[in-house]
Structure 1
Amino acid sequence: MYFAALLARTEDGWEASDTELDDVETLADLADLAREATADYDDDTVLVFIEQEDAWFGVVRVDGEEDPRIYVSDAAAAARSSYGEILLTDEMLGRDPDDDEVVDLDALDLDGTEDGEPEASDTDSDGDAADDAGTSGAPSGPLGDTGILADLGVPEKDLLGLEAGDALNEIAEILGAAEVLETVR
């Protein structure tokens, strides 16, 4: 199960809205959606929260017209998700976009991964999750800008220590936005 929300910082504090990502196909689409949320405010900071229950979470920060900043808690799990693949840019994965061997994430078999459980091919002989990057080229574990929320009160160390499931609520609590986030959950 997925959850996605926008948190826009305003003069009066944070405002939250749930969002549908059905029409979002690229990171640029997601950034445009976030910018639309701040059209009426002077402060252009918007956070996009995306999570797949107990598997991974991602935070995208859009500050005005700057390039979006992205953090994903588990890149390998996100790579098996249609919404996660939006966040995993070639730059984040260390791929050359002009390289002929770019992996087509749409071709990945998503069966069995929607609940966050690794597929049999993602486990080693002991049944533990494999440490390699798998077919998506995405490493297991966190990827992206770990300082994305540092100026808002969530230091890198704390962000890296958050686990999928409660992470977005914990971040919202630190930001002082827990109540507004809860209203859109």
Structure 2
Amino acid sequence: MYFAALLARTEDGWEASDTELDDVESLADLVELAREGSVDDDMVLVFIEQEDAWFGVVRVEELEDPRIYVSDAAAAARSSYGEILTDELLGSDDDVDVEADLEALDLDGTEDGESETGDPEDTESDVVALVPAQGGPAVAGPAGDRQILVDLGMTEKELLGLDSDALSAIAEALGAAEILEAVR
């Protein structure tokens, strides 16, 4: 069972509304739904949750590309709405481009941006995408923009530490817990 809600930031605070995802077939549809729910083209957060299996947050702002975070890419990829998000983050199996992947390799055998030691701590990135093996399934764990909510009061560490009742915890950090619970 899914829960989906829009949380729109306004001059007066947050406004929440539950939303139906029946007509959403792509990320573009989801972004259009969010923009329709915005007030004066302000920022909108789309919350999607499938029981305690995974949750996703999509941040839509006026003219910017949407920012996406998914708590468990593998679990989300197995669900219809989660697949929309993970396909955007990780690419679908149809999007696998072996030639481009080979070009991304440096002569020392590392991928662009990866340190020669292979230590992920040696690289700097605000966005994490757990890339599946060629044609393989998404890797279990979070994927996307881990700093999606930092400027709104939730640190990356707090976001990564969420498990059950994550959307309520996010709403609490944003000061919108009561508003979200009203539409739940």
TM interval, short-chain normalised: 0.7 to 0.9
For the 8 Å contact 2:56–2:70, the answer to whether it is kept is yes
Gaps of 5+ in 1: 102-131
Closer/same/farther in 2, CA of residues 84 and 95 from structure 1, 3 Å limit: closer
Given residue 84 of structure 2, which amino acid in structure 1 is its aligned partner? I
* 1:133–1:140 Cα contact (<8 Å) kept: no
Contact 2:93/2:136 (CA < 8 Å) preserved in 1?
A: no
Q: Which has the higher contact order (CA 8 A, sep 6+)?
A: 1
The aligned counterpart of 2:116 is none
- The 3-state SS of whatever aligns with 2:148 is coil
Q: What one-letter code is carried by the residue in structure 2 that aligns with 1:149?
A: L
- Measure, in 1, the Cα distance between the counterparts of 2:84 and 2:9: 23
What secondary structure, in the 3-state scheme, does the structure 1 residue paired with 2:46 have? strand
Q: Could you tell me how far apart the structure 2 residues matched to 1:58 and 1:179 are? A: 20
Q: Alpha carbons of 1:95 and 1:26: their partners in 2 closer, same or farther (altered >3 Å)?
A: closer
* Conserved? CA contact 2:90–2:132, under 8 Å: no
Q: Does 1:93 align with 2:108?
A: no
Number of residue pairs matched?
Answer: 151
Task: Report deviation, 1:7.
Answer: 0.1
Q: Which residue of 1 aligns with 2:70?
A: 72
Per the normalisation by structure 1, the TM-score is: 0.75
Amino acid at match of 1:63: E
Tell me what 1:22 maps to: 22
Q: Aligned in 2, Cα 1:136/1:7: closer, same or farther, shift over 3 Å? A: farther
Please name the residue that 1:4 is paired with.
4
TM-score using structure 2 length: 0.76
Deviations 1:124-149 (A, max 9, x none): xxxxxxxx959762110000000000
Equivalent position of 2:44 in the other structure = 46
Q: Which runs of 5+ in 2 are unaligned?
A: 99-130
Which has the greater radius of gyration?
2
**Equivalent residue for 1:121?**
none
- Which aligned pairs between 1:158-173 and structure 2 lie closer than 5 A? 158-163=158-163, 165-173=164-172
Q: After the TM superposition, which parts of structure 1 deviate over 2 Å for at least 4 consecutive aligned residues?
A: 94-101, 132-137
> Aligned equivalents of 1:181 and 1:4: distance in 2?
10
Taking the aligned partners of 2:167 and 2:182, their CA distance within structure 1 comes to 13
Query: Is 50-59 or 136-145 further displaced after alignment?
Result: 136-145
Deviation at 1:100, TM superposition (A): 7.3
Question: 1:89 offset after TM fit, Å?
Answer: 2.7
Going from structure 1 to structure 2, the CA distance change for 1:99 and 1:162 (only over 3 Å counts) comes to: closer
| Alignment check: 8 A CA contact 2:142 2:160 kept | yes
